[in-house]
Structure formats: structure tokens, C-alpha cells
Structure 1
Amino acid sequence: MSSSSQSSSKFPLHEVPLPHSLDFYRLLTESYARLLGKPLVPADMSPAEGAAWLYDDAPFAVLAHNTDPDPVFIYGNRAAQARFGYDWDEITRLPSRLSAEAPNREERQRFLERVQALGYESGYKGVRITKSGKRFMIEEATLWQLFDDEGRLHGQAVIIPRTSDITD
């Protein structure tokens, strides 16, 4: 069997990948590059180095959710875990809608639907909440569809380069 006949994404749609999964890393980075025309990680990194950097050291949060009717996060790098206040096991069981307060969920859903129609959207700003209920603003976020190289949809991912605390 030749490797060119195999899909680059071999994980089940609803299974949580390991934090450094090369298959999931390829899905994230290749779909991002196809849609946005630029790399998600520094171009000089090997896939293993890139997967480790994206999970452990990236200076921005990255989250991904699956295609369930009520999507659940299947990936959250360390920056996302720190910002939202969840560890890996907690964040990868969290329905993504719970990352926003109830009054903001309708606006969040409209944003997700625009991304479904367009493939990606950049410049998003919105209020999110931590595990402890603390509110913060995500800024300049880019959300994109996670399509593999065969056109199958695996979910959506977001890069959050900037956040700011909201003080009441």
C-alpha cells in the first residue's frame, strides 16, 4: 500500500487526538494553509517539532471542535488551556458553546455559520468565559474549517492571538 493513497487524517471524527498527534497537526496546519494561504507554524519546523511547538509553546491559543450536533472541543493547546482555565482532559470534554456566556451564544453561532459558508473568517472579537466564570475578550481570532486533503470535514479550529480581561 503506498503512502500517497492514504489520507493524512486517520483519526475518527469524534475521537480526541493526542496533544502531539501528527495526523491532527497536519489536519490543523494543512487546512489553515489551504484556506488562508499562509503557515500556522514556522515553516522551518519538522512536523514533530511543529506539533510540539503548537501544543506546548505557541504564543497564541488554538482550539478545535468536532462535527457533533453540539460540538465538543477535541484540541486545546497549552495557551488555550491556561486562558480558559481547563486542563487537557477537561477541555477535550467541553461542549464548545460553553466557552461563551449564554447571552453571547447566539452571536457565536452566527459566526460559526458564516465560517461554514465561507471556509474561514478573520478578525473576530467576542466575549468568552473561563472555567471559573471570569469573562474575557478574544480579539483578532481566525476560525477555519478543518477539511482534510480528501475534502472531509472534521470540525472547526480557531487561533486566538490576543485576549484581554473584562473588569466589571
Structure 2
Amino acid sequence: MDCPDLTPAHRSRVLCIGDSYRRLTGRALVPGGGDPIDTLWSAPLAIVAHGTEPDPVFFFGNRAALALFEMDFDAFTRLASRFSAEPLLQAERMRLLARVSRDGIIEDYAGVRISATGKRFHISNAAVWNLTDGAGTAVGQAAAFATWQ
């Protein structure tokens, strides 16, 4: 699966994923050179990001994430992020997002997510962080995880 074509505005939003992580931690989210969007897209860890809408919608999922969620990029980027968690775990998800909003980043999240076909998978050691643009304006939240089963 190739990296989708992105508009300049969408590319700018996606670039905030790695830039925000680096500002918060001092580390690169994904080591490598070349086009940072291609690096995020092909990373071996799952990377997802949603916006700041009242019911946030994913605007990015990389190749690893799309395989886990069993969706293509177009379908994934129309999905409200709350639908990635089981309905009974939504309160836990809301507590997580509130903690991230308060602290900027957490790197110890674990939880159950659900794919488009109903498969449940457990993620652990996930980082979840706030996304901001170069001016410090909030543009969403992102998550990255390399451990799932």
C-alpha cells in the first residue's frame, strides 16, 4: 500500500505528528531521513492522529495502523476516533484523552481497540500526545504503538 496523495494543508497537519512528538520528548518518533511523511507512513509502529473537532475524526493512519484496523486510508480518515474503542471502554478512553490534554504526552497507555471487521486487539506501551503546529495552536492528538496482539 502506497502513501496516499495529500493536499498541502493535509501534509502540514501530518507533519505536526513527528514535530509535536519531538518538541515534547526531544526524540524523533521515527528515525530516518528523507520525506518525513513517507517515514511516518512506512514506520513499523502504528501511528494514528485525530483532529480537534467536537467528535474528533482521524486525519492520519499509517500503513501499520490501517492493517490493524482493517481499513483503507479514505475510510479511516472518515472515522470518528471514538469508534476505534469498544463502547464499554469509551469512559476509559475519555480519561486518557483528558490526561494527555493536561500533561501533553503519556507513554504508558494500554487498551483494547476494534478493527472494521470487529476484531479486538490489545495495544500496550503506547505513546499518546497533543499535536500543535509551529505557532503552538492545537491541531489534535496522536498515538503510536509497536506492541499489539
- TM superposition score normalised by structure 1: 0.81
- Identity among equivalent positions (%) equals 44
What residue in structure 1 maps to residue 90 of structure 2? 105
What residue in structure 2 maps to residue 7 of structure 1? none
1:106 is displaced (CA, Å) by: 0.5
Cα distance in structure 1, aligned partners of 2:83 and 2:13? 23
- Counterpart AA for 1:87: D
Cα distance in structure 2, aligned partners of 1:26 and 1:126? 26
CA RMSD of aligned residues (A): 1.2
1:37 aligns with 2:26: yes
**Residue deviations 1:117-166 (CA, integer Å, cap 9, x gap):** 010101100011010111110111000100112110000000011101xx
Q: Does the aligned pair in 1 maintain the 2:105–2:127 contact within 8 Å?
A: yes
**DSSP 3-state at the match of 2:28:** coil
1:126 aligns with 2:131: no
What residue in structure 1 maps to residue 60 of structure 2? 75
**Residue deviations 1:74-130 (CA, integer Å, cap 9, x gap):** 000010000011100100000000000000011011000000001010110001101
Q: Does the aligned pair in 1 maintain the 2:14–2:60 contact within 8 Å?
A: no
Cα distance in structure 1, aligned partners of 2:119 and 2:17? 28
**DSSP 3-state at the match of 2:54:** coil
- Counterpart AA for 2:102: A
Between Structure 1 and Structure 2, whose CA radius of gyration is higher? 1
Cα distance in structure 1, aligned partners of 2:133 and 2:89? 30
- Counterpart AA for 2:27: K
Unaligned runs of 5+ in 1: 1-9, 12-16
- Counterpart AA for 1:111: L
What residue in structure 2 maps to residue 160 of structure 1? 145
Q: Does the aligned pair in 1 maintain the 2:129–2:141 contact within 8 Å?
A: yes
- Counterpart AA for 2:21: Y
**DSSP 3-state at the match of 1:39:** coil
- Counterpart AA for 2:92: E
- Counterpart AA for 1:39: A
Cα distance in structure 1, aligned partners of 2:93 and 2:139? 19
Q: How many residues align?
A: 142
Unaligned runs of 5+ in 2: 1-7
Cα distance in structure 1, aligned partners of 2:143 and 2:18? 12
1:64 is displaced (CA, Å) by: 0.3
